[in-house]
A = this chain, B = another copy of it.
Amino acid sequence: MTPEQAYEEMIRLSREEAVLGSCLELLEWDEEVCMPRNAVEHRSEQRALLAGLVHDRETDPRYEELLDAVEGSVLVDDPQSPIAVNVREIRRAFDKERHIPRRLAEEWARVTAMAQQSWAEARKNDDYPSFAPWLDRIFALARERADAVGFEGVRYDALLDDYEPGMTTDRVSALFTDLQAELVPLVAAVRSAPAAPRVVLARDFPVERQKLFVEAAANALGFDRHGGRLDLAHHPFCTQIGPGDTRIALRYDPRDVTQGFFSMMHELGHALYDQGLDTAHYGTPMGDAASLGLHESQSRMWENQVGRSEGFWLHFYPRLRSTFHESLNDVAMETFRREVNLVEPGPIRVYADEVTYNLHITIRFELELALVSGDLRAADLPGAWNELYERHLGVRPASDSEGCLQDIHWADGLIGYFPTYTLGNVYCAQLFAAADRAIGPLEDAFARGEFEPLREWLREHVHRHGMRWSVPELIERATGTPPDPSFLVESLTRRYGESY
């Protein structure tokens, strides 16, 4: 087999895996958006079958032979060519999968399924001790998994790499330590300021009208409606079924227009990334998002850097006010903006504002590291959790249900995942600052209703490159410096420091 033939066959396998995976995406989308409730059992059979077929392809032993035939050939001479990138990333993924013994993969699936049930019960009954043994088992399996796939520095590197390829524990630690040092005093300052009363968020915003407004805004911001949809679901999400098919699902609150609108802004950022990938490379690493953190940077950019800015609301607030005239006629833009920029430390991550959010993540990262290393046992988690919340955010969870039981991630086996949320915020602020330097002032463009310049800058410097570079390299190429939390600190201090 020539290297060319081997490469072609490898890409065929990779695309087939992607197309099959995209059928699974549709099943999952449909389950959240359309499926009648009596179909639950059949849907789980459909998903299990397709997931098995995807897994068979991920671990297809032919990859070994095909990779051997291409690696070292002239085809991969230029490490930044699409061929070299695809070969590098297919090798990385394949080696990882292949080193995980079947027994471990099966136990992982079984234990996380049961642990999720235990977690749901424990959270409902505020009964952490019943869940603690599962957490110990999951972290033990995570250690096994890390040892199986291997790592250079510490075990946590191997887990982090599942979500943020090439990122290391040391780099995250350094970033997060810097960030924490800046954010803790900022949050403390905010807490000492008197709280402003809320006026906007408990009025009438008919859902049908919210949908029309949100859809029109998504279109104006550049969501390709012929290549996607907006729907309703219990939890907001965005999924890419395939090229030309990116779907956003949202939830609306009839008393609070900001919930649905900012969910749209967040999911829109994900959608624009997906719609900006190079479709010619669909189904291969060159056509795939570079990391969860980079994906999150795009959602946070539209949600926070764009959607909470003054320029943005100079354009959109008159439209919002005329759409919901009865409820907003007496509300000045500045009042509205203050409310969508409120900072209020609380115990729950998913309700957190832009400033305090990152401390929820740095706390989880610190605890995860200790749980993986074995320095912290599950039985001692609630104490450690509550102490860190008190120290960094100045709040103490009233129960474990609103403390260390609030997130499903660990029960689901997602260890090494949390840091990607704050890495996303770090990348986001740095990319936005670079775009602003290059083509700004962006807020002036937003005020004129112009969002294409930012969108095209992101497409050019981020979206279209797929997995061509590691994320740190992509960030450095796009912004001139490696990932650096000072842009996030500067952005938050500038935007929130003065208010308090």
Q: Which A residues form the contact surface with B (CB < 8 A)?
A: 16, 19-20, 22-23, 26-27, 30, 34-43, 45-46, 49-50, 53, 224-229, 241-245, 282
Q: List 27 A-B contacts (CB under 8 A).
A: A16-B49, A19-B45, A19-B49, A22-B42, A23-B46, A23-B49, A23-B50, A35-B245, A36-B225, A36-B226, A36-B227, A36-B244, A37-B226, A38-B226, A38-B227, A38-B243, A38-B245, A39-B227, A39-B243, A39-B244, A40-B244, A41-B243, A42-B242, A42-B243, A42-B282, A43-B242, A46-B242
A245 CB contact (under 8 Å) in B39, B225, B242: B39
The A contact surface, by secondary structure, is: helix
User: What is the minimal beta-carbon distance from A284 to any residue of chain B, in angstroms?
Assistant: 14
On chain B, the residues within 8 Å of A241 by CB distance are: 39, 42
Residue of chain B at shortest CB distance from A40:
B244
On chain B, the residues within 8 Å of A228 by CB distance are: 36
Chain copies in the assembled complex: 2
On chain B, the residues within 8 Å of A19 by CB distance are: 42, 45-46, 49
Residue of chain B at shortest CB distance from A39:
B245
Are B224 and A34 touching (Cβ within 8 A)?
A: no
On chain B, the residues within 8 Å of A23 by CB distance are: 23, 27, 46, 49-50
Are A229 and B36 touching (Cβ within 8 A)?
A: yes
User: What is the minimal beta-carbon distance from A312 to any residue of chain B, in angstroms?
Assistant: 26
On chain B, the residues within 8 Å of A282 by CB distance are: 42
Residue of chain B at shortest CB distance from A25:
B46
On chain B, the residues within 8 Å of A242 by CB distance are: 39, 42-43, 45-46
On chain B, the residues within 8 Å of A243 by CB distance are: 38-39, 41-42
Are A244 and B38 touching (Cβ within 8 A)?
A: yes
Are B229 and A34 touching (Cβ within 8 A)?
A: yes
| A284 to B241 CA separation, bound complex (whole angstroms) | 30
| A2 to B395 CA separation, bound complex (whole angstroms) | 66
| A50 to B24 CA separation, bound complex (whole angstroms) | 11
Residue of chain B at shortest CB distance from A50:
B23
User: What is the minimal beta-carbon distance from A15 to any residue of chain B, in angstroms?
Assistant: 8
On chain B, the residues within 8 Å of A42 by CB distance are: 19, 22, 241-245, 282
On chain B, the residues within 8 Å of A38 by CB distance are: 224, 226-227, 243-245
Residue of chain B at shortest CB distance from A42:
B242
User: What is the minimal beta-carbon distance from A29 to any residue of chain B, in angstroms?
Assistant: 9
User: What is the minimal beta-carbon distance from A419 to any residue of chain B, in angstroms?
Assistant: 32
Residue of chain B at shortest CB distance from A224:
B38
On chain B, the residues within 8 Å of A227 by CB distance are: 36, 38-39
User: What is the minimal beta-carbon distance from A321 to any residue of chain B, in angstroms?
Assistant: 28
Residue of chain B at shortest CB distance from A53:
B53
| A225 to B30 CA separation, bound complex (whole angstroms) | 16
User: What is the minimal beta-carbon distance from A50 to any residue of chain B, in angstroms?
Assistant: 6
Q: Which of A23, A30, A43 has the most CB of B within 10 A?
A: A23
Known: A36-B225, A36-B244, A42-B245. 9 other contacts (CB 8 A): A19-B42, A19-B45, A23-B50, A26-B30, A30-B30, A38-B226, A39-B243, A39-B244, A42-B282
On chain B, the residues within 8 Å of A16 by CB distance are: 49
